[in-house]
Chains A and B, each alone.
Chain A
């Protein structure tokens, strides 16, 4: 059983608000990832990190930003939410060949 957590699970928020999606893992994994998945669509990698103080952009361009100050924590921030940001955001971590995913945060921007 993977120990990777995301909060909140669901978020409804108005346009222009700043939001931070939390992701934490207790497995001590160095590598962490954020994926975005629109309903019924494919997952796309938007950010990843090799470890503390490392962040990289993924294959899909995103207006969100991430930080990695602690190994176990990899938050994602949207400075000014827009309806186009409505999606599911999935966090993952890995060591070796297996990625462990969190349950996701479903974001709805009105």
Chain B
């Protein structure tokens, strides 16, 4: 499985944008880039995913480098509720079960 590398922790202030980086230099052509987050005492929650083009949804934006070896999750205006562990995960186009491999993720702290 292709691996991802994320900083262990990041800190930001409320109402400011947050850029969460992820390196995936061994990504294959069929790997989708997924982001999930896990709030304290909860199960993971889907945030966004993409393949080649940048993606936007109501939660966040995903910026994917042209060579696809890195990506950045962007929270446009962080709130205290965004404090969580964010996971960047590669998963190939589903032909069977989607076996997500979670790493350590980035623990995001939001300061009031």
Among B13-21, B64-72, B99-107, the stretch in contact with A:
B99-107
Point out the residues of chain B lying under 8 angstroms from A53, CB to CB.
Answer: none
The answer to whether residues A104 and B32 also contact, given A31-B98, A94-B98, A97-B98 and a CB cut-off of 8 A, is: no
Q: Which residues of chain A are near B105, meaning CB under 8 Å?
A: 42
By the criterion CB–CB under 8 Å, are A59 and B101 in contact? yes
Which of B36, B43, B100: most chain A Cβ within 10 A?
B43
Residues of A contacting B101 in the complex (Cβ-Cβ under 8 angstroms): 45, 59
B49 touches A59 (CB 8 A): no
Does B34 sit within 8 A of A, measured CB to CB?
Answer: yes
Q: Is the CB of B44 within 8 A of A43?
A: yes
B99 touches A103 (CB 8 A): no
A42 to B100, CA, bound (A): 12
B36 contacts which chain A residues (CB < 8 A)? 99
Which label, helix, strand, loop or mixed, suits the secondary structure of the B interface?
loop
**A42 with B103: CB separation less than 8 A:** yes
Are the C-beta atoms of B42 and A100 separated by less than 8 Å? no
CB interface residues, A 66-90, toward B, < 8 Å: 90
- Given that A101-B43, A103-B43, A104-B42 are contacting pairs, would A96 and B94 also be in contact in the complex, using a CB cutoff of 8 Å? yes
Query: In the complex, how many angstroms separate the beta carbon of A39 from the nearest chain B beta carbon?
Result: 11
Indicate which residue in B32, B42, B104 contacts A97 across the interface (CB closer than 8 Å): B32
Question: Are B44 and A56 in contact (CB-based, < 8 A)?
Answer: no
What residue in chain A is nearest B93 (Cβ atoms)?
A97
Q: Are A50's CB and B46's CB within 8 A?
A: no
* A-B residue pairs in contact (CB < 8 Å), sample of 18: A31-B98, A35-B102, A42-B103, A43-B100, A43-B102, A48-B99, A56-B97, A58-B99, A59-B101, A90-B43, A90-B44, A92-B43, A94-B98, A96-B94, A97-B91, A99-B100, A101-B45, A104-B42
A interface list, Cβ under 8 A from B: 31, 33, 35, 42-45, 48-50, 56, 58-59, 90, 92, 94, 96-104
- Leading 9 A-B pairs by shortest Cβ distance: A101-B43, A43-B102, A48-B97, A98-B46, A101-B44, A90-B43, A104-B43, A42-B102, A97-B49
